Structure 1
Amino acid sequence: MGVAMKNKIWRGGRAILLAGTLGLAAVSAKAENLADALASAYNTSGLLEQNRALLRAADEDVGIAVARLRPVLDFLIRVQRTYNKAGVNSIVTSRTNSNPMAAQLSLDWLLFDNGQSRLLQEAAKATVLATRQQLLGFEQQVLFRAIAAYLNVLLQQESVRLQGNNLRVLGEELRAAQDRFDVGEVTRTDVALAQSRVAEARANLVAARGALENARAEYTAVVGRPPQNLSPVPRLPAPPASVASATAVALRQHPDIIAAQYAVESNELQVRASSAGLGPKLNAGAQIGLTERLDNSGYSRDATASLTLSQRIYQGGALNAGVRKAMAQRDASRANLLTVQKNVRQDVDDAFVRLQVAQASLAATSEQIRAARVAFDGIREEATLGARTTLDVLAAEQDLLDAETARISAASERSIALYQLLLVQGVLTAEQLGLAVQLYDPTLYYNLAKTAPAGTSKQSKDLDRVLKALGRN
């Protein structure tokens, strides 16, 4: 095989390799883009469904706290049969039988509890707001995992293309070495070196295909369907100008910080509620009863009404222990808020540095590819003149492959680093990304449940329809 023909074969293989590396293959009309993957992850995430249900449970706690200041009605129906026989020294003196039926309706209404119930309502509302922010935090995690899975599939696809094209190029190198050996231009050692590199390339291709299958499995798990002809990554969002500006956004918007702030507020209200629980309570009571004998021998009716002022004075030390426990939980939530703020600051710093490193690495690998290609071309030409060995050519080929592999890895790393920076700033949400999804509205269920509607009310029926739509009935 002539030198010109061998160079032509190599350039053709390298052109294919470069096209695969840069992702220039045509994309069909059915290609799936990153926004599609994120929308699917948002709509199918079991983690989000789980935490939405937990938020609805927190909403119900507000209604339960509201119900504390509403009257409690109880009814009782009792049917009884009594038989009595009495006597002295085996002489029966009396026998009685009774078959009474009693019906009773009672009411108990807490009129005053030193403000404890109102404080518990406000604490439950603060807990709802904290839970909403926690839901946003889980939403960010789901979307970031989907982004990472999408980018990893693209990365592994490029790696498979790169390794496949490299195997084809090395196969041409092996055939060229064999042809040159046949005419006595090189030794059997050169052929063996080429065979060794081909075998290594085959192993690398198998490993790359395995990594691609793992990436596809992760994508399917988080997005809810297998990847189908993924589009290249779209234009990336503009990064923040500085780490200070990124930190300022994170301290204002990160859901973990806001959730911790609401947790502090809720625990402070719990302390006040516990203290208020030491005070007096005023209850109104009413009761209506009917007792009637089933043998029609008589009946009785009664009704009572009462006002009761009570205060528990001593409970073995449990009263003050409850207050101290609430204070300890408040102090713990305050400390947690400081910890969360510090962690967010550190996460922003780490993500910003990661992005800078990725950008620098991307620029460096571009220069590395340019230099490696020049070196390979030169060594290749020198080898045709006998100034370089086959080992030199194969080593240069490996250097170029390593540079191109580093380039696609650096490009993927830069994308992930940028989205991670959005994550730690607290802005990687479906709303702020503008995803084409029906956003979950946490206020819809809350507004229906917060007043603890009665089971026969229109509001309660609306709640039933919401739960049915959610697939819970």
Structure 2
Amino acid sequence: MQKFWAAVAVTAAMVAAPAARSETLADALISAYRSSNLLDQNQAVLRAADEDAAIALAQLRPVITFATQASWTKTDNDSPIGNILTGVTPAYSESTDASASLTASFLIYAGGRSKMAIDVAKESVLSTREALVRVEQQVLLDAVSAYVNVRLQIEIVALRQSNVRLISQELQAAKDRFEVGEVTLTDVSLAEARRAAAQAGLAAAQGALEAARERYKAAIGHYPSNLASLPKLPVAARSEDAARAIAVRNHPVIKQAGHEVKISDIRVDIAKTAFLPTVSSSLTVTEDWLSGQGNTVAGIRFSDTIYQGGERSALFRKALAGKEASAAAQLQAVVDVSEAVGNAWSNVMVQQASIEAGGLQVTAAQKAFEGVREEATLGARTTLDVLNAEQELLDARATKLEAEASRYVGVYQLLSTMGQLTADQLNLGITTFDPDAYYNAVKKAPLTSTRGKKLDKILEKIGN
């Protein structure tokens, strides 16, 4: 428990005593980007998709296999009954054999299926890249939310502490007035009850601050120490329609859906090739190492399926259904993103109005509290009136702080719905993950034996 209160005290001191180096929101976003396990996971998924493109390309190349074999054979003709009947002397024989073969096979024609498989793999890479952008946006949005929430909870704790001090003063004033007979014991009890409630509210706020610190560590990678004030909000869009137009063009969900549509189109074409024949060639060279004899066999194979129980037609219809599903999913993605933009824009506008109204409410509540407290000293107001006025002022201040925090995060949420919340677009000034680096290194399906060191260097660079 002592460690808990110590952590709360240290965190609360962040707004009071300036340190040599404060952690800015940009610092937090950079840390979140670099330490995110989700980003590491999805970057690895993207590299796996890159390898699928290399695998598809490899299908267009000849397949060369090598085989060698050696054998030893012992023949035993020793049969007692047979030897007696035939008069043959028992015989033993041994033989050895060793050979090697080299076979090369190559697909000549399959209706363009292999080339279309490469196109599918490339579109899958682009689709996976958009999925990675979506994860990046969520990581950065979580970081913004965590940063703002810690600052909010620090301010709420300070507000609650001030409330406890103020009510303690009112309690002492009530006791003093009770001693001289100006108020009753009921007034003192009311003040005591309010102070207990204020202390409970302070404890809850301190607990919320500790929870915010844990969320900060999960989102950003370390506990907050000394957070700087929030920077000026970035410009999202001049209007809701402008924001929606940007989102439809740039949101990774919509772009990913577009790539999935292309994949479905290609898969329909691939399904058509199942009705076409296949032509392949092979060349096999065999050498008997003991006899020195060898042979070479070259061949070409033409094959086609005459009857398959309707499977090919079913697969073709399935591909058509998948194409329709992808097209509908793309349209729905536009609807969902457009709705998200509208909701985010509305939320920002609502919170802005709440801030403006909250400012007026705080000003009025402050004047009311000061007036009620002054009137109470003259006997025109009761202790309960003072306590109620203090509670209204506290609520007004807390509501305004929460609205300011919600509006701030809401702007970044709007950027996210527009597809604009990435490390590059926020100008964080760091080296970000390059999706082309690994793809360019493996897209031609290099042999590990000759390109392994280059791939290792790329992976090391990505890891850093």
Would you call these one fold, judging by a TM-score over 0.5? yes
Q: What residue identity is the alignment partner of 1:148? A: S
CA distance in 1, matches of 2:185, 2:227: 45
**Deviation digits for residues 218-249 of structure 1 (CA, Å, limit 9, x no counterpart):** 00011001111111211112342222111101
CA distance in 1, matches of 2:126, 2:170: 66
Q: What residue identity is the alignment partner of 1:33? A: T
**What is the aligned-residue identity percentage?**
43
CA distance in 2, matches of 1:338, 1:236: 32
CA distance in 2, matches of 1:349, 1:396: 38
Q: What residue identity is the alignment partner of 2:325? A: A
Structure 1 range deviating more: 190-199 or 278-287: 278-287
**Deviation digits for residues 99-136 of structure 1 (CA, Å, limit 9, x no counterpart):** 21221111111122221111111111111111111100
Aligned-pair RMSD on alpha carbons? 2.0
Among 48, 67, 75, the alignment partner of 2:66 is: 75
Structure 1 range deviating more: 34-43 or 236-245: 236-245
Q: State the Cα distance separating 1:147 from its structure 2 match.
A: 0.6
Among 448, 466, 470, the alignment partner of 2:458 is: 466
1:220 maps to 217
Among 330, 333, 336, the alignment partner of 2:326 is: 333
**Deviation digits for residues 329-371 of structure 1 (CA, Å, limit 9, x no counterpart):** 2222112111111110111111111111101111111010011
Say yes or no: does 1:303 pair with 2:300.
no
Q: State the Cα distance separating 1:434 from its structure 2 match.
A: 0.5
**Deviation digits for residues 384-422 of structure 1 (CA, Å, limit 9, x no counterpart):** 111110000110010001100111001001111111111
Q: State the Cα distance separating 1:146 from its structure 2 match.
A: 0.6
Structure 1 range deviating more: 232-241 or 86-95: 86-95
Structure 1 residues 142 and 471, CA gap change in structure 2 (3 angstroms): closer
1:256 maps to 253
Say yes or no: does 1:421 pair with 2:418.
no
- Equivalences for 1:90-169 in 2 at 5 Å? 90-91=81-82, 96-169=93-166
Answer yes or no: is the 8 Å Cα contact 1:43–1:437 preserved in 2: no
SS in structure 1 at match of 2:429? coil
Among 287, 310, 327, the alignment partner of 1:290 is: 287
1:4 maps to none
Among 339, 348, 352, the alignment partner of 1:355 is: 348
1:29 maps to 20
Structure 1 residues 468 and 385, CA gap change in structure 2 (3 angstroms): closer
Among 39, 45, 49, the alignment partner of 2:36 is: 45
Structure 1 range deviating more: 144-153 or 324-333: 324-333
Q: What residue identity is the alignment partner of 1:425? A: M
1:278 maps to 275
Among 168, 189, 193, the alignment partner of 2:186 is: 189
Structure 1 range deviating more: 377-386 or 440-449: 377-386
Structure 1 residues 409 and 265, CA gap change in structure 2 (3 angstroms): same
Structure 1 range deviating more: 25-34 or 101-110: 25-34
Answer yes or no: is the 8 Å Cα contact 1:448–1:460 preserved in 2: no
1:231 maps to 228
Q: What residue identity is the alignment partner of 1:277? A: A
CA distance in 2, matches of 1:239, 1:430: 15
Q: State the Cα distance separating 1:380 from its structure 2 match.
A: 1.1
SS in structure 1 at match of 2:448? coil
Q: What residue identity is the alignment partner of 2:143? A: A
**Deviation digits for residues 117-173 of structure 1 (CA, Å, limit 9, x no counterpart):** 111111111111111111000000000011111111011111100001111111111
Among 386, 396, 403, the alignment partner of 1:410 is: 403
Q: What residue identity is the alignment partner of 1:409? A: E
SS in structure 2 at match of 1:432? coil
Q: State the Cα distance separating 1:27 from its structure 2 match.
A: 3.5
SS in structure 2 at match of 1:201? helix
1:5 maps to none
SS in structure 2 at match of 1:433? coil
Count of residue pairs the alignment pairs up: 446
1:377 maps to 370
What 5-or-longer segments of structure 1 have no aligned partner? 1-19
CA distance in 2, matches of 1:239, 1:49: 28
Answer yes or no: is the 8 Å Cα contact 1:119–1:273 preserved in 2: yes
CA distance in 1, matches of 2:287, 2:295: 7
CA distance in 1, matches of 2:462, 2:94: 57
1:174 maps to 171
Among 52, 56, 73, the alignment partner of 1:65 is: 56
Q: State the Cα distance separating 1:176 from its structure 2 match.
A: 1.4
Q: Using structure 2 for the length normalisation, give the TM-score.
A: 0.92
1:392 maps to 385
Structure 1 residues 347 and 79, CA gap change in structure 2 (3 angstroms): same
Answer yes or no: is the 8 Å Cα contact 2:32–2:219 preserved in 1: yes
What 5-or-longer segments of structure 2 have no aligned partner? 1-11
CA distance in 1, matches of 2:329, 2:418: 18
